[in-house]
Amino acid sequence: MCGRTACTLAPDEVSRACSYRNRGGQRRRPRWRDGDADNYRPSYNKSPQSNSPVLLSKRHFDKSAPVDECVLASMRWGLVPAWFKESDPNKMQYSTNNCRSENILEKKTYKDPLLKGQRCVILADGFYEWKRQAKERQPFFIYFPQSQSGEEKKDTDEQNDASASNNDQGNDALSSPSEDRETEPEWTGWRLLTMAGLFDCWTPPGGGEPLYTYTVITVNASPNLESIHDRMPAILAGEEEVRKWLDFGEIKCLDALKLLQSTNILTFHPVSSLVNNSRNNSAQCLQPVDPNSKKVPEPTASSKMMMSWLKSGTPQKRKDTSESKQDKTETVAKSAGPLHQWLQGTSKKPKVN
């Protein structure tokens, strides 16, 4: 199942990392819902009951919003159904951190939000899973392969840019740079994992602030992960799958459920047992280890990228650095990114803390 994640990006980085193209072909940065950026805290070791960044259709909050507009929200992990009658959401007597895709229409807790179109995408650097080995459990960190995603995304974006440019010719004089043209530099940081989920909004019976919560939908593990665990989060592998999952108006629930498939494209590496304790929150939680040795193993391509990204500093430091680069040319901004450097053949091994 999925009981622990990591999301180390600052709020502004999350917004840039999950930019999307609207139906007109323009690339958009989803804005945070009012106040939610302050409720999210980056973490190397997120457990249930903590807040995570969630992507969803803005129409859930604003009925007049364009059908293809997305928004970021900070939601608590562990779905509390709208009909829950207790005054304390912590009194839920069963776990709703995960929802099995096979049973989603059989349980009222999940069926109600699904039929209401309350679909969302949970964003994370990756998730942790534990493999049982004799009397011990070895944790693994599981995430998108970074070496492939960067080049593929770049090629796709360049093609879409050309198409959007052709469609927009003749409208430049009437277009607002901040609204209709792509002005953001290409995201060259960590490619976020996009997990399918459901959310609900619970309000205390006696009145008070509404609480938004979510559950991660799980499916059978893919062939390359089943040796670790028999279940995995339902991964939305590309921008088109994310769009379809969030478009609750055009894509009805039964068709959306067809997107929930085992995805054999994730990579992983073993990590330290430090992650077993949710109070441990440092980059060491993600550091690749050799389960049979105290030495740090030779890094893989994707783990190199991860450690290079983490070494670029804290989320705030990366944010400050990226903001200072926005005044430079696009070429300079791209060449400074850790993903770009690594794709060009950077082979420097990460330092061991």
pLDDT (0 to 100) of residue 25? 83
Q: What is the distance between the alpha carbons of residues 242 and 55, in angstroms, rounded to a whole number?
A: 9
Q: Return the percentage of the chain with pLDDT > 90, whole number.
A: 61
pLDDT tens digits along 76-116: 999 999 999 999 999 888 999 999 999 999 999 999 999 99
Give the separation between CA 186 and CA 336, rounded to whole angstroms. Answer: 11
Confidence of residue 263 (pLDDT cuts 50, 70, 90): confident
> Is the CB of residue 48 less than 8 Å from the CB of residue 59?
no
Determine the Cα–Cα distance for residues 7 and 216; give it in Å rounded to an integer: 15
Beta strands 136-143 and 267-270: pairing type?
antiparallel
* Buried residues in 267-299 as b, exposed as e (16+ CB within 10 A): bbbbbbbbbeebeebebbbbbbbeeeeeebeeb
DSSP string, 96-130: -SEEEGGGTTT-HHHHHHHHTT-EEEEEESEEEEE
Higher pLDDT, 188 or 73: 73
Contact 73, 33 (CB under 8 A): yes
In this predicted structure, the answer to whether residue 298 has a pLDDT above a threshold of 80 is no
pTM of the complete model: 0.77
Is 2 designated active site? yes
pLDDT at 240 over 60: yes
Higher pLDDT, 164 or 28: 28
Residue 117 pLDDT greater than 90, yes or no: yes
For the segment 123-134, what is each residue's pLDDT rounded down to a tens digit?
999 999 999 887
Contact 200, 113 (CB under 8 A): yes
What gap in Å lies between CA 151 and CA 145, rounded to an integer? 11
Q: Is the pLDDT of residue 349 over 70?
A: no
> What's the pLDDT score for residue 136?
87
Q: How far apart are CA 318 and CA 320, in angstroms?
A: 5
Quote the pLDDT of residue 311.
Answer: 59
SS3 165: helix
pLDDT band, very low/low/confident/very high, at 312 (cuts 50, 70, 90) = low
Average pLDDT on 175-180 reads 38
Dihedral of the alpha carbons of 104, 247, 53, 21, in degrees to the nearest 10: 150
Decide: helix, strand or coil at residue 324.
helix
Extended beta strands in 211-250, E state = 211-220, 231-233
pLDDT over 90 (residue 59)? yes
50 phi/psi in degrees, rounded to 5: -90, 165
The rounded distance, in Å, linking the Cα atoms of 236 and 215 is 15
User: Catalytic site residue 129?
Assistant: yes
Q: Could you tell me the CA-to-CA distances from 77 to 5, 91, 179, 236, 320 in Å, in that order?
A: 11, 15, 33, 19, 29
**pLDDT (tens digit per residue) in 189-210:** 999 999 999 999 999 998 889 9
pLDDT at 227 over 70: yes
| Amino acid 168: pLDDT | 40
- From the list 146, 157, 147, the residue with the least C-alpha distance to 184 is 157
Q: Which entry of 13, 129, 182, 241 is annotated as an active-site residue?
A: 129
Q: Which domains does the chain have, with CATH numbers?
A: 5-298 (3.90.1680.10)
Q: Which pLDDT does position 307 carry in this prediction?
A: 60
Q: Which residue has the higher pLDDT, 289 or 300?
A: 289
Confidence of residue 342 (pLDDT cuts 50, 70, 90): very low
- pLDDT for 314-337, tens place per residue? 555 554 444 444 443 333 222 223
- pLDDT of 152 reads 45
Write down the pLDDT at residue 153. Answer: 47
Q: What is the mean pLDDT of the chain?
A: 80
Q: Give ∠ CA 250-255-256 in degrees, rounded to 5.
A: 80
Mean pLDDT in residue range 298-314: 59
